[in-house]
Amino acid sequence: MTTPANPEFTHVRDGLPTMVDVAGKKPNKRTALAEVRVELGADIMSRFEHDDLHGTKGPVLQSAIIAGTMAVKKTSDLIPFCHPLPVEHCGFEIVPDATGLTIRCEVTTTAKTGVEMEAMTGAGVAALTVFDMCKALNKAIRIQNLHLMAKTGGKSGVYLVDT
């Protein structure tokens, strides 16, 4: 993906914040993939059993997926200039390792605008849910590096994060 020489903020018109006008756009299939890292510490990760962490509040990863999915569907209620979108697919991948989790959220729609914010909101809220459910075990949990990994659709085409 290339960035224009003089990019402009799309949500500012005449110096005022505004929702982007998508009335003239044609709907097309759009996807976005976001990722976030949750550093829980080796002590918490040693409690991993049967593909999940089981705490007093319930299954951590299952709860994170449910919360993340709910957040994807409510993104336009949280971010002022996001358009409400019909979410056609929302999926999560949570990859554990010795010290934490990598959470990925993928969202798909057929609409006039993209789902980047929905994917990042889903990943972020899933990470916050993990934090909430594990904070009694470690006050130093860190949520790091929430970012867009990839997107498709729209006039800017395909974007893949540089690795």
* pLDDT tens per residue, range 78-108: 999 999 999 999 999 999 999 999 999 999 9
**Regarding predicted confidence, which is higher, 145 or 50?**
145
Domains assigned to the chain: 27-156 (3.30.70.640)
Pick the catalytic residue from 43, 52, 132, 162.
132
This prediction's pTM: 0.88
- The yes-or-no answer on residue 43 being catalytic is no
Mean pLDDT on 15-32: 84
Exposure on the CB side of residue 19, measured as CA atoms within 13 A = 11
